[in-house]
A and B are shown apart, each in its own frame.
Chain A
Amino acid sequence: MLRFEHVSKRYPDAGEVLTDISFHLARGEMAFLTGRSGAGKSTLLKLIAMMEQCSRGNVLLEGKNITRVGDRQIPYLRRNLGLIFQDYKLLNDRTVFDNVALPLIVAGFGHQEVSRRVRAALDKVGLLGKERKHPLSLSGGEQQRVGIARAIVNKPKLILADEPTGNLDPDLSAEVMHMFEQFVQVGVTVLVATHDIELITRLGHRVLHLDKGRLQAGSE
């Protein structure tokens, strides 16, 4: 599903952030990406989301090399990904429905299909009935669930979450993780960057540990 082959990323002013990273995530696998701040977690996710290009090596998504794709192709490839952020990245001037519908509108789905899928996604995250609310009138946990609904509405094959529980209390965090485990059961691959060690050990999934840009554990 997702394969890194000797990937390095160097920034002109920050030097090498990732060094010789190789790993493979299978379809329907869930993994945690851990490491201290600055260990390169976010950079690794950005490479997958095509927000950055690696300096060396290859990143393969479903067998397709996404390291050297043209700007024109990137939007279409991104539609196979679901991205979740620590700060939710919602549009606060739009309703919950419009936020969740965005990936579908962008992909040109028809009105009925959009409506049906948005409801299904909101149902999955337990927010059905809040379509007309605005994000800022919701709690942090609810906002994150809107973000999750937006990430899954397009039925992506790979979900990337960058510190999804960073702003949530332990109960809500456990709830979010439980949701991810449900997605995995229907064949979605999930990669979660986090430093919530307690949560990781309790759930017992595969852990990719980054230290100073090198993969210390979990490459197998």
Chain B
Amino acid sequence: MRRHRQHKQTVRKRTHDRVKERFEAYLLNHAHGLFSSLGRLSRTPFTTAMTVVVLAIAIALAGCFYILVANVQQLTGSLQSSNQMSLFLKDQINEASGQKLAEQLMQNADIDSVKFISKKQAMDEFKTHSGFGEALNTLENNPLPNVIQVLPKNVLDSRESLDKLMAEFKQISEVDFVQVDMQWVDRLQAIMRIAGRGVTVVGILLGFAVTFITGNTIRLELHNRRDEVFISKLVGATHAFIQRPFLYAGFWLGFIAGFAAWLIITIMLLILESPVENLSSLYDSSFELLYFSFSEFILLLMMASGLAVLGSWAVLHYQLRLIKPE
């Protein structure tokens, strides 16, 4: 009885060992596929480079578009769309009566705050920030008008009440014309929403491109290695076994291209950085150029390699059936 149990135990142990060894062999096969496919790609550097460059450009195009829109969105996102209005006063109105009008407006229940900006203040500000300082000195007289900036109360969010207020201001004899300052922000934000959707569409298109380009490269590789596929089939290889190194090759193409695309985008942003900084300082803004974050970088790599594997898989799924022993 004990002997029988012992025998059972050794059999179990042996089966256990065999399963373990098989599993190790399976992992080893994956590791081999991962590295041998990379080695194979490096042995045909020209073909590999061509594919990688084409893939990288496709991915970088989508990535550039994405990061540009993200940057502009960052810029416009920080701008509060508000109903602030500027009342430009007529030329003949002097500073004192302008001040007086501003105080009167302050009494209006619909108005939250009022700020008077004199011709002179406007000119000084313009001189320091526009970069035209010297040129402006040559002007004989100050062409800028006196301005009253009015911020209506938040209650006035509807367009009608805003229009009513504007009509009221236009009635004032001293006022030349009225302008809602930040209306362009609304419009820009609407445009950016369109651009955001554009990124999605372009991203999907270029994603298709990545899938098909990789698929085609893998198809050629499969064609070059027909004999190997054929012989593997004859000695009893499953499709999963045969396609493994090809899928890994697809993975590498996508992965390397994704990395290259990230490099392209980053270099492009670096080139743009100093002129953008220049521009932003002119606007007295602390705008900072947005780069790919680490998680976006990882996502880019994952998407690039994922799409490449998908393309390879689709091609292999279809083509492996066609390679039949002669």
Contacts and interface: CB of A to CB of B under 8 A. Distances in A.
B22 A106 contact: no
Interface string B1-31: 0000000000000000000011011101100
Interface string A66-83: 000001100111110101
A109 B25 contact: yes
A91 B325 contact: no
A106 B24 contact: no
B232 A110 contact: no
Interface in B217-238: 227-228, 230-238
A53 to B, nearest CB: 11
Interface residues of A, number: 29
A72 B228 CA distance: 19
A168 interface: no
B100 interface: no
A49 B233 CA distance: 11
B24 A79 contact: no
A102 B235 contact: yes
A111 B22 CA distance: 9
Contacts of B233: 75, 78
B21 A76 contact: no
B159 interface: no
B241 A106 contact: yes
B235 A106 contact: yes
Contacts, number: 68
A78 B241 CA distance: 14
Interface in B146-162: none
A108 interface: yes
Contact of B236 (A79, A90, A110, A112): A79
A75 B26 contact: no
B238 A75 contact: yes
A89 interface: yes
A213 interface: no
A81 B234 CA distance: 9
Contacts of A79: 235-236
B242 to A, nearest CB: 9
Contact of B29 (A46, A51, A77, A108): A108
A132 B233 CA distance: 24
Contacts of A89: 227, 230-231, 234
Contacts of B321: 71
Nearest to B228: A91
Nearest to A110: B21
B284 to A, nearest CB: 66
B92 to A, nearest CB: 93
B21 A51 contact: no
9 contacts: A49-B234, A51-B325, A77-B236, A78-B234, A79-B236, A83-B235, A90-B231, A114-B25, A154-B235
Interface of A: 46, 49, 51, 71-72, 75-79, 81, 83, 89-91, 102-103, 105-114, 150, 154
Interface of B: 21-22, 24-26, 28-29, 227-228, 230-239, 241, 321, 324-325
Q: Which 10 A-B pairs have the closest CB atoms?
A: A110-B21, A79-B236, A78-B236, A103-B235, A106-B237, A51-B325, A75-B238, A110-B25, A75-B236, A108-B25
Given A78-B233, A109-B22, A110-B22, 14 more contacts: A49-B234, A49-B325, A71-B321, A75-B239, A76-B236, A78-B235, A81-B236, A89-B230, A106-B237, A106-B238, A108-B25, A109-B25, A112-B21, A150-B235
